[in-house]
Amino acid sequence: MLNHNHLISITDFDAKRVRAILALAHQVKKYPAQYRNKLQGKMFGLIFEKPSTRTWISFESGIFGMGGGVIYLGPEDIKLGIREEVKDVARVLNRYLAGMVLRTFSHQTINEFKKYFEGPIINGLSDVEHPCQALADFMTIEEQFGKKAKPVIAFIGDGNNVLNSLILLGALLGIDIHYATPKNHEPNLAVLEQAKALARKSGSKIAGTNDPLEAVRGVDVIYTDVWVSMGEESLRDQKMKAFKGMQVNEALLKHAKKNVRVMHCLPAHRGEEITDGVMESKHSMVFDQAENRLHVQKAVLLHLLQS
Ligand code: CP
Ligand code: NVA
C-alpha cells in the first residue's frame, strides 16, 4: 500500500493538520528529550539536487535527535533521472528506507517519486514550493505574536518557491499576506489561484502589487528572499535590473509598524534583497526562523509517521 501522507505541497494539509503540527513543534522544541527515541530503527534518505545548509543539517540533526538514521545523497550521488529513471530509484530506495526528503529542481520529480515509494516524502524545496520553510516561518510568527494573533505579513521580492508556500499557508491559516514583486515575477499562477480559494474560506486576504511601499504600509512582518534562486544563475543580470527598488532596507521599514519584525529564509545576499543593517537590527528574527526549521521538521516527521 502506498503511503498518502506526504508534505510535498502545503495543500497536502488542511488547517487542522497544520495547527496540530505547529502545536507539536512547540512541544518538541520545549521538551526534546521526550522525543529522542521516536524514530528508533528507522532510516531516512535525503536526496538533494541543490546545495543546502539549513534543510540538510536540520533534517539530519532532527532525525538523529529522535533516534533515527540518515543517508545524505548530494548532487553528485544519485543523479535522479540522469543515471537512472526516477521510478527505478524510488522503487529501490523503497526497499531500504522509511521516508525521504527530496530537494529537486523540478517539483514533478517529487510527484513522480511518490508514486513508487511507500513511506512519507517531504519536499525540502522544489522550483514551486518550500513547505518546510513556511511551517517554520509560521511557528516563528506564533512565538513572536502569540497563537491567536493575526499579524499582517508583507513579502517583498521574487514570486518564488518561498512566497508560493507562504501565501498558501497564510491563506490556510487566515493570515493576510501582501506581496510586492516586479512585473512578470509574480507567484506561480496555479498556486495563487489555490491560495485565493483557501483565503476565501479562511477569510484572509492575499494581495499583490508591484510597489513595495504599498505592500509594507502598516504591516507587522516584512519577509524577503534572494532575487536569484538556485538554478537561476544564468538570469542573474536580468533579475538584478528587474528587482531594483525591491530591497528591504531601513527606509522601507519606516513604512511598516514601528516594531515590525523582519524575516528571511536564508541564505541572504546582504546588499541585494536586504541590507546588512536590517539583517543585524533588532527587527530581525531570521535566526529564530532558521532554528525553528529543526523543531517543525521533527514535528512533520512525527506527524506523517503516526497518521
Ligand atoms: N532556507 C533554506 O532552505 O536554507 P538551505 O537552502 O540552506 O537549506
Ligand atoms: N528561493 C531560494 C530559497 C532558498 C532556501 C532558492 O530556491 O534558491
128 alpha carbon, closest ligand? 2
Q: Which residue has the cell 538556485?
A: 230
- Using DSSP bridges, classify how beta strands 153-156 and 121-123 pair: parallel, antiparallel or unpaired: unpaired
Question: Which contiguous run of DSSP H or E holds residue 177?
Answer: strand 177-180
| Cell numbers representing residue 225 in the block | 528572499
Q: Which of 293, 273, 45 is nearest to 165 (CA)?
A: 293
| 103 labelled catalytic | yes
Q: What is the pLDDT along the chain (307 residues), one digit of tens a residue?
A: 455 699 999 999 999 999 999 999 999 999 999 999 999 999 999 999 999 999 999 999 999 999 999 999 999 998 998 999 999 999 999 999 999 999 999 999 999 999 999 999 999 999 999 999 999 999 999 999 999 999 999 999 999 999 999 999 999 999 999 999 999 999 999 999 999 999 999 999 999 999 999 999 999 999 999 999 999 999 999 999 999 999 999 999 999 999 999 999 999 999 999 999 999 999 999 999 999 999 999 999 999 998 6
Q: Which atom number of ligand 1 is nearest to the Cα of residue 53?
A: 7
CATH numbers and ranges of domains, the chain: 10-130+290-306 (3.40.50.1370), 133-287 (3.40.50.1370)
Q: Does ligand 1 come within 6 angstroms of the Cβ of 37? A: no
- Taking the complete model, does pTM exceed 0.85, yes or no? yes
219 C-alpha vs ligand 1 centroid, how far in Å?
25
* pLDDT given at position 307: 60
Q: Does ligand 2 come within 6 angstroms of the Cβ of 247? A: no
Q: Which of 195, 241, 226, 213 is nearest to 154 (CA)?
A: 213
Q: Does ligand 1 come within 6 angstroms of the Cβ of 292? A: no
* pLDDT given at position 272: 98
The residue contributing the CA closest to ligand 1 atom 6 is 52
* pLDDT given at position 73: 97
Q: Which atom number of ligand 2 is nearest to the Cα of residue 162?
A: 1
* Ligand 2 site-directed mutation target among 130, 227, 235, most atoms within 8 Å of CB: 130
* pLDDT given at position 207: 97
C-alpha to C-alpha distance for 169 and 162, rounded to whole angstroms: 11
* pLDDT given at position 3: 57
- Provide the 3-class DSSP secondary structure of residue 127: coil
